[in-house]
Amino acid sequence: MRRRRTLTLRGTGALLAGLGCVIAANLLGAAILLYVGVLLLALTVLSILVVVLPRRSGTVARQISTDLLTVSETSRVTLRFSLRALRMPRGLWRDVLPDAVTGDAAGEYPSETGRLSYLLTGVRRGVWPVGPLVLRTVDPFGLAQREQEFGETRTVTVVPEVFTLAPLTVRVGAAGGTAQTSSSRLGQGSDNLSPRRYISGDSMRRIHWRATAHRGQLMVRQEEEESSPDALVVLDRSAARWSDTGTEVDLAFETAVSLCASAAVHLMQEGYGVDVIDSAGVLLGTLRGHEDDRDGLLVALALVSPRGDSRDLAALVGGTPPGPLVYITGEIDEEDAALLRPSGAAAPMLFATAPQRGAEAAATQLGWRFAVLGDDIAEAWEDVLPERQTMSTADRRGDADVQG
């Protein structure tokens, strides 16, 4: 944080004017200039002593109305500031804010109640420090100033924005699109899970670590009876898919993260148990209908960034294909799309922020419902719904008939 100089612009002017008067008095022999110069210098020194010498201490209690702040969401920050000093200075307060949030975090001090508040708006996801509180006081003549920090910083977590998406018009699953998929994947249920030996092709996310340690061999979770539906959301954050912007924000990646959160929350609301992983197989969160699950996923997504490489999608899906499969990626070409096999998913949906020529055709040929992910996340989601896909196919056939 940049500190202000002790002398204000007016104080600097007074100091220079005083020195000028003293020098001119010696050169011109004018006693009146000497008196004026000494007066200005003495006044400047006195102003500095007035703001610097008093010892002040204080306590700050900072409260934010929401634990998790969504991008573009506004929250209220309330501070209770207790200052102990010989006198209560009239000055200005401000709370130090990072660039990732905005807010009018400044005002006049002291307030009558010692309660300070302002509105805070999330701009960029992440975990950011807020504070400390800075009190700026100025002497009565406006020649000198002092800035002093009080209290500690507090972190605020800005999570990706979650958009409302259109419902799936059909229930995808094994019964011809009329029943949801029965699942035997990680995390489905708690009382009816039994471990069995690991078989080649099982997802590594299903490993039962406690049973593995007990028996000395890899064991995986297997459900005896489970009717909860299952969905999988994959965020491809491999570095090759995204632009290296250095310190700049990659807006395409931010949109992809927001779609990842929106799709996962939406599928959970439709009754699916949702696993969210990245393209390397790292589990980012699971949604099983609990509010804590949602918050945990959003916090995890607040911290993700492009890195590493991606694994084969079939290895990520494992032996049991999900119902809805949402795969979100960045820049892909035709060859990349041809390697993304949906592995038997009942409703595979592929979103790409920067598809190259031939990528959509290659993905569609494998059975994906494909959409280009732009600024409008809700519209991109609607583009992969069955009726929109049917209309797009009919339009393409109509164009072909006209050209023929």
Q: CA 128 from chain center: how many Å?
A: 10
Domain boundaries, the chain: 9-52, 57-159, 190-225, 229-403
Whether residue 229 is predicted with pLDDT greater than 60 in this model: the reply is no
Q: Are 81 and 63 in contact (CB under 8 A)?
A: no
Q: Which residue has the higher pLDDT, 248 or 160?
A: 160
φ and ψ of 388, to 5 deg: -70, -40
Does residue 185 register a pLDDT over 50? no
374: nearest Cα among 357, 355, 347: 355
Report field, pTM of the whole predicted structure over 0.85: no
What 211-217 contacts at long range (C-beta under 8 Å, 24+ apart), as own/partner pairs, is none
Q: Mention every residue, 6+ apart, whose C-beta is less than 8 A from residue 157.
A: 67, 68, 69, 126, 127, 128, 299, 302
For residue 186, what pLDDT is reported?
39
pLDDT of 175 reads 33
Q: Which CATH number fits domain 229-403: 3.30.70, 3.10.450, 2.60.40, 3.40.50?
A: 3.40.50
Calculate the CA dihedral of residues 246, 251, 253, 254 and round it to 10 degrees.
110
pLDDT band at 160 (very low <50, low <70, confident <90, very high): very high
What the block records as the tokens of 2 is 């940049």
Domain 57-159: CATH architecture, name and number where available:
Sandwich (2.60)
Both tokens of residue 220? Answer: 């995986």
Peptide linkage before 195 cis (omega within 30 of 0): no
- Residue 254: pLDDT band (50, 70, 90) is very high
Say how many residues make up the chain.
Answer: 404
Mean pLDDT (whole number) for 326-345? 93
In angstroms, rounded to a whole number, what is the distance separating the alpha carbons of residues 404 and 402? 5
Contact between residue 157 and residue 68 where contact means Cβ atoms under 8 Å apart: yes
Check residue 193 and give its pLDDT: 55
Nearest residue to 69 (alpha-carbon basis) of 295, 274, 290: 295
How high is the pLDDT of residue 219? 79
d(CA 55, CA 47): 15
Location of structure tokens 């094994």: 174
User: Which residues are CB-contacts of 242 (< 8 A; sequence separation ≥ 6)?
Assistant: 250, 252, 253, 306, 330, 331
Q: What is the pLDDT of residues 191-226, one digit of tens each?
A: 445 677 777 667 666 777 777 766 777 777 765 434
CA-only gyration radius of the chain, Å: 31
